[in-house]
A and B are shown apart, each in its own frame.
Chain A
């Protein structure tokens, strides 16, 4: 176990965006088959962190390793092969608004995996049920849905086909507590039953405790604390303590 390289690793990642160093030497590890939760203030670069891991942004320096393999500047067939095992839920859902809901969910199955449309539709409806969306939603367009429903469709799209690594960018933001809990159950199920590696970003501490095995706190472009979720409450770290208490006073200054 210990000889095996971690599933996903950020090594000294730096990126400069819109005039400042968003990530400034970020080191982070997601262990195989575990669920990592990243917490941190608004605008601290959490979304950028996972977009870099997905290859959607290229860091100025540093490395991204998947199973120990450097994929930072990978292109072509090998890249497609590796990233075919990834799924991602975007913070803003990012549903294709020209396609009906079911085709959004089945997009990868139909366009990349070569499944027939009826089979894709069947699988999409099953995936929608997992996020508590009924069959009647399948033929609507994303524009016809509420924000929370769009988020759940995007979640179904990210997990369909059981990817090995899934990134969830604020999966429960904008959901009512009951649906949020169902979504958290779904994430736990993906990790516990299907053995995937999950990386989730959340502001919601209850969610973090429920879905996380490990927690990492991002601040000032670096990970200022990380550890198993059980040690969150006695971290002894002023950043984490302030975040947990939700105080305006402390090392973190509110982003207004």
Chain B
């Protein structure tokens, strides 16, 4: 596998510069601004995910980095080199396309070796590197097959090998797993992550699937309407969302809108939720408090918890967990996720109509503007 790694001399030069660096990157179609002044640095060897709903500009961003689409404004650096005006075939970037875009007239070997042949590498070396890449994606036994003879998962692997074998500075992946069924997708997520560690190439991975982004990425950028709402490690964007959109898009979040005053938020008459300090609010601002469903307790509350009374509206059993909807005010219903622990029996579950007391640790409440 060693041949898939960067050789030490080409790595030496570029360690300082980020693998990808976007500055004010903007794309407009007519009056529509689809990507809006994006600033982003992606480190060498990072598994970076661009996560956002369909239509938020993820593909457009990738296409600009690959060179298929000219930015309306801004610049793109790859490995410290400005490539904004470089045509795609001269960028040290490869793409795994959403449709895989395999060459139907070539067999698997021909597809994977295509980029190396363009570079004029000698046949022996091509044969060896193609062989290694096919080993890596576990397709060595299908080297002579036509793409039409392969399953969806296998086509996906060919597309991956075809891009990886060129050892680009950055690999761009546009929802590469979206077309696979759920089980295969889960398996490929694990495998793709393992492959990325093995080859040590920067991955810019586009997805609209939050689970995928959380489980695979070193860092995630949450994109919405052409702008990056939040960027950080998976645990940071999950635990400390900085916007209502980010809180809602990753995982489920209980949002309690209200007015801030004196260290707490008034959700409605008689219901004030204390929030952690350090937000710099004066008072009177319209804000939201967000608490994750699994951070809320229904029993075994401790003295340091924020406590709120409520009424169970519904309960649904999910095997490992039970999900409750609990009304804490006429307009405010919270989702609560409780682990079904070994010592709990089915009779321990709350039934609709039960009066309960909810509790969470103050630091688990996030204040959103």
Partners in one complex: no
Residues of chain A whose beta carbon lies under 8 Å from any beta carbon of chain B: none
Residues of chain B whose beta carbon lies under 8 Å from any beta carbon of chain A: none
